[in-house]
Structure 1
Amino acid sequence: MLDRVEAIVIKTVDYGETNKIITLYTKERGKIGVMARGAKKPKSQLSAVSQPFIYGSYVIYKGSGLGTLNQGDPIKTFRKVREDLVNASYAMYMAELIDKLTEENKRYMWLFDWYYLCLVHMEEGADPEVLTRIFEMKMLDVAGISPQLEKCVCCGSHDDPQAFSIRYGGFICRRCIDKDTHAFPCSMQTVRLLRLFYDMNLHRLGNISLKAETKQELKQIIRAYYDEYSGVVLKSRRFLDQLDRMNLGPNIDT
C-alpha cells in the first residue's frame, strides 16, 4: 500500500553500504521509520530528501514491517539551519527529544507544527537556545510529565512563587520553601518565562532576547526536571554541553 505524507526528517541511520533508515515525523501519522534504499549513493534521488531537518512530501510503501521510501520531494530544506553548527546542534537536540518521547504511529496534537516553527524561527535568526527552552517546556505535556506552574505545588497558594521544586514537581511559595532545601530559587522573570514557554503559541513568537543569567536559570531548572522525570538520555545534549565549554553557543545575549 502506498501512502503519501508530509514530514520532517528527525533521524538517519546508515544501513549497509548504500541504504539508510530514516525516521520521519509526519503531520498525518506521527513518528514513522522507513528504509531509504540507495540513499547513501550521491546520485540517488532519495539522497537529498533523506537529510536531517528536510521537510518534504514522501511516498512510502507500507507492508507488514518497516516501510520503504519510494519517492520524496523537498518542500523546505532549512539549509541555513543545517549548515550552521550551533543551529544544527539545537535542532538535532529537539529532534532527539521527539524521537525519545513519542511512540511510533501516534499523532501528537501540534507537535509537527512546534518543530517546524522552531526550525523556521531558527532559520530567520531567532536564538536557538531560547527556542529550545520553549520546545522543552512544550514537550513536557507530550511526555506526560507536566509540572505544576499555576500555584504552589505543596499548599495550592497562588502567591508569587519563590522557587521551583524538582522533588515536588512545580513552584513552591514562601511558606513552603523550607519543605525542599534543594529547590531552585526563581526570579519573577524566570517564573513568567516558564509559564509563558509552556503555553506559548509559536505562530506568534516575537523577538525574545534573554540575559545569560536568565538563560542559565531556565536551563538548570528544565534540565533537572527532565533528568528526574523523563527517563531519557540524549546524546545531542552532551554535544551542546561541549559547544558551551568551547564558547560556541549562541551569542545573542543582551
Structure 2
Amino acid sequence: MVRGGEAGMLHRVEGIVIRCMDYGENNKIVTLLTKTGGKAGVLIRGAKKVKSRHSSLAQPFTYGEFQFFRSTGLGTLNHGEIIASHHGLRMQLDLSAYASYAAELTDRALQEEEASSFLFEQLLACYTALQEGKDPAIVLHLYEMRILDLAGYAPQLEQCLHCGNVMGSFKLSPGSGGVLCSRCEGRDPYGIPLGEGVHKLLRLFKGMDMRRLGAITVKESTKAELKRCMRALMDAQLGLQLKSRNFLDQLDKLV
C-alpha cells in the first residue's frame, strides 16, 4: 500500500490475470493472483475499447505490475505495466485450454485472502513451461500436485497408508489420499493399480518445484495412467467442477 485518499488506498502489486469478465459496455473486471496478497479483483475501465492503453492488461494469463485504488472489495486500476504477456498461450487453442485450466484451478482452490508467494511463482513457472513447449499434460499434472500440496492434500506415496510397507506393488487409493500395498489393497475396492513408472513420476512430482522442471519425455501409455491417477486424486480430495477441464477433455477427443 502506498498512500490513502478518497478513493481508498493505492496498492501496487505484481499479479497474474487468472479470470476476466466483461462489466458494462467498455469495462472489464479481472481477478489477479498477486505475489504477496492472495487474490485481488480489479476493475479496468475502458479495457474493451480497441485503443485502450489498458486492454492488454485485461487479457487472460498476463503477468504485470498493477496499481489500483481500493478501500473495500473491488479495486479500480490506476496504472499498469506488462512484465510478460504470455501472448503465445492465447494464440494456440490447446495451450489456451491448458493455461485456462491452471487459472481456474488456482482461482477455485485458493480462498480470497489466502496469500502465497510460492503459489504465485508456481503458476508463473507453469505458464513459462507451457510457452517454452514442454509437454502440457505433464506440466499440468505437476501443477495439480502443487495445488494438492498447498491445499493440504498431498498424497502419501512413499509407503502403504495402512501398514507402512515400502516394498512390492501398490495401488493408489484416491479417497484415502495415498497408496496401499498388495496386502492392504482390499481396503479400497476402487484402488487404481500403479505401474512402477507412474508411481515413480508421482513421487517425483510430489516434491518438485515447477521452476525445476526440465525437458521430460513420457510414453503415451504412462501419460494416460498418470492422468487417471491425478484425476482421481483431484476429484476425491478437492471435488471441484471445472468448466476448463471439460473443455480439455473435449479437446483430447479430437486429437
Q: Does residue 104 in structure 1 map to residue 150 in structure 2? A: no
Of 21-30 and 167-176, deviating more is 167-176
Decide whether the 8 Å contact of 2:35 with 2:117 is kept in 1: no
**Counterparts of 2:240 and 2:212, CA distance in 1:** 30
Tell me which of 84, 92, 116 is aligned to 2:100. Answer: 92
Q: Does residue 238 in structure 1 map to residue 246 in structure 2? A: yes
Indicate the RMSD between aligned Cα atoms, in angstroms. Answer: 1.2
Decide whether the 8 Å contact of 1:164 with 1:171 is kept in 2: yes
SS at match of 1:110: helix
Q: Cα deviations across residues 143-171 of structure 1 (Å, max 9, x unaligned)?
A: 22222122101112222442101232211
Equivalent AA in structure 2 for residue 201 of structure 1: D
Aligned to 1:140: 148
Matches within 5 A, 1:1-254: 1-247=9-255
Equivalent AA in structure 2 for residue 15 of structure 1: Y
Equivalent AA in structure 2 for residue 131 of structure 1: V
> Identity of paired residues, percent?
45
The alpha-carbon deviation at position 228 of structure 1 amounts to: 1.7
**Counterparts of 2:215 and 2:93, CA distance in 1:** 22
The alpha-carbon deviation at position 231 of structure 1 amounts to: 2.7
Dislocated runs of 4+, deviation >4 Å: none
Equivalent AA in structure 2 for residue 36 of structure 1: I
- For structure 1, list consecutive stretches of 5 or more residues without a partner in the other structure: 248-254
**Counterparts of 2:64 and 2:174, CA distance in 1:** 39
**Counterparts of 2:73 and 2:125, CA distance in 1:** 31
SS at match of 1:134: helix
**Counterparts of 1:178 and 1:120, CA distance in 2:** 42
Equivalent AA in structure 2 for residue 7 of structure 1: G
- For structure 2, list consecutive stretches of 5 or more residues without a partner in the other structure: 1-8
Decide whether the 8 Å contact of 1:26 with 1:32 is kept in 2: yes
SS at match of 1:150: strand
Decide whether the 8 Å contact of 1:154 with 1:168 is kept in 2: no
Decide whether the 8 Å contact of 1:161 with 1:191 is kept in 2: no
**Counterparts of 1:83 and 1:160, CA distance in 2:** 46
Decide whether the 8 Å contact of 2:36 with 2:117 is kept in 1: no
**Counterparts of 1:198 and 1:36, CA distance in 2:** 38
1:53 to 1:226, Cα distance in 2 relative to 1, 3 A: same
Equivalent AA in structure 2 for residue 185 of structure 1: P
Q: Cα deviations across residues 10-29 of structure 1 (Å, max 9, x unaligned)?
A: 11011111111100011111
Decide whether the 8 Å contact of 1:161 with 1:171 is kept in 2: no
**Counterparts of 1:186 and 1:231, CA distance in 2:** 22
